[in-house]
C-alpha cells in the first residue's frame, strides 16, 4: 500500500483510514482538505498520539505549547490529555497524516 496514492475522493470531511489495529496501537492515515477543529471543541484524548505529516501543510495548537506549523516530514508527539486542535490544513494538494494512537486499541 502507498499512503499517498491513490487518495480517497474529496467528500467534504476529513477521511480517516485505519491501517493497523493492535492491542498496543492503532495506526491510521488521515486526509485533510482544509478542515480544522472548532476552537470550542479541542481534542482531549485518553492516549498518546504520534503524528507524521506526509504531504501538505498543517498547524496545530496545543495547550502546553501554543501553535506549531508542520511541513512534510515533521513529527509530533501529543501526550494523553493535552488539549489540542488543528488550526489549518492545506486543501490542495491535500494534507496527509500518519497517526499512531498508542495503547488505544
Dump pLDDT digits (tens) for 1-49: 899 999 999 999 999 999 999 999 999 999 999 999 999 999 999 999 9
Per-residue model confidence (pLDDT) at position 103? 86
Q: What confidence score (pLDDT) does residue 1 get? A: 87
Distances (CA, A) of 104 to 22, 23, 28, 101: 8, 7, 12, 6
* Span 59-81, average pLDDT: 97
How deeply is 82 buried, as exposed, middle or buried, from its count of CB atoms within 10 A (0-12, 13-18, 19+)?
Answer: middle
Q: What pLDDT sits at residue 104? A: 57
The rounded mean pLDDT for the chain is 96
Q: Give me the pLDDT at residue 105, please.
A: 53
Q: How far apart, in whole angstroms, are the C-alpha atoms of residue 36 and residue 41?
A: 11
Residue 75, C-alpha cell as written in the block: 513529527
Please choose, from the candidates 24, 70, 79, 72, the residue with its C-alpha nearest in 3D space to the C-alpha of residue 50: 79
> CA 95 to CA 44: how far, in whole Å?
22
Ordered domains of the chain (ranges, CATH): 15-102 (2.60.120.10)
pTM for this entry: 0.94
Amino acid at each position: 500500500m502507498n499512503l499517498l496514492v491513490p487518495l480517497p475522493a474529496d467528500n467534504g470531511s476529513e477521511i480517516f483510514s485505519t491501517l493497523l489495529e493492535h492491542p498496543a496501537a492503532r495506526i491510521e492515515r488521515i486526509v485533510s482538505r482544509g478542515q480544522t477543529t472548532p476552537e470550542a471543541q479541542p481534542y482531549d484524548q485518553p492516549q498518546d498520539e504520534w503524528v507524521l505529516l506526509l504531504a501538505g501543510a498543517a498547524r496545530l495548537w496545543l495547550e502546553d505549547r501554543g501553535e506549531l506549523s508542520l511541513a512534510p516530514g515533521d513529527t509530533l508527539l501529543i501526550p494523553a490529555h493535552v488539549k489540542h486542535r488543528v488550526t489549518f490544513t492545506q486543501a490542495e494538494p491535500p494534507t496527509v497524516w500518519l497517526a499512531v494512537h498508542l495503547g488505544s486499541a
